[in-house]
Structure formats: structure tokens, C-alpha cells
Amino acid sequence: EVQLVESGGGLVQPGGSLRLSCAASGLSVSSNYMNWVRLAPGKGLEWVSIIYDSGSTYYADSVKGRFTISRDNSKNTLYLQMNSLRVEDTAVYHCARDTSAFASWHFDLWGRGTLVTVSS
């Protein structure tokens, strides 16, 4: 079965760090474009970061300089290292695969997410 399973969420104080993992099965994280997307309480979905098959990475302005996306090809796992966490980073974090058809990129496979709570 093709699936993505996130882990690593939890409660962290402002200014702290956390590393999220997204374990993939039935697909290769190294040959796909992979994203992190978050859903904050009472808000809408927000794209956070992408890593291309080439290894290039991009970030939303809200997390640039604080978050780092990476992958371990041997473990077929995607990561999100989150530093200098803020209260406004509280959200459920989903990983998602990017794919293209009809000249449109879209996220066709998502994980169920892991909850990150930033609070003192």
C-alpha cells in the first residue's frame, strides 16, 4: 500500500526545536517532489516547504531560516527540522507527495499528520 506516516510531533516551548519524520512506503521519497503542509487551529491549510528530486528546497516566508526540509534515501523518510519555534507554529503537520498532470502540480498523496504544539 502506498502511504505516508508522520511522527515526531509533541509539546515544545517557544524557542525550542523539534524534528518531524514522514515515513514513506510504496513510493520513493528521493524520486518524488515532497512537501510539508500545516493546518493551524482555526486556520486554513498552509504550504510550508518542498524538496525536489534534485535536492533543491524551498520554504514559505513564514518559516524561512527556521525550518529545514531533508530526506534520508536509505530510510525512505522525509524530515522537517523546526528550530526557533513560535506559538504560531502550532499546527498539524502533513507530508504530501507532489505530482503533475495537465500542466498542473497537485498533492495526490497525504499523510494523516502529526500535531505540534508550541506553548509555555
Could you write out the DSSP letters of every residue in 75-103?
TTEEEEEE-S--GGG-EEEEEEEEEEETT
CB of 64 to other proteins, least distance (A): 12
For position 8 contacting other proteins by CB under 8 A, the verdict is no
Mention every residue, 6+ apart, whose C-beta is less than 8 A from residue 32.
53, 97, 98, 99
Q: Which is nearer to other proteins, 28 or 58 (CB)?
A: 58
Mention every residue, 6+ apart, whose C-beta is less than 8 A from residue 80.
19, 20, 22, 36, 48, 49, 67, 68, 69, 93, 95
Residue from 43, 64, 75, 86 in contact with other proteins (CB under 8 A)? 43
Q: Which is nearer to other proteins, 52 or 73 (CB)?
A: 52
Assigned C-alpha cell, 117: 504544539
Q: Site for other proteins (CB under 8 A): how many residues?
A: 25
Residue from 27, 39, 66, 83 in contact with other proteins (CB under 8 A)? 39
Query: In DSSP terms, which residues pair with 114 in a beta bridge?
Result: 93
For position 80 contacting other proteins by CB under 8 A, the verdict is no
Q: Which is nearer to other proteins, 38 or 71 (CB)?
A: 38
For position 44 contacting other proteins by CB under 8 A, the verdict is yes
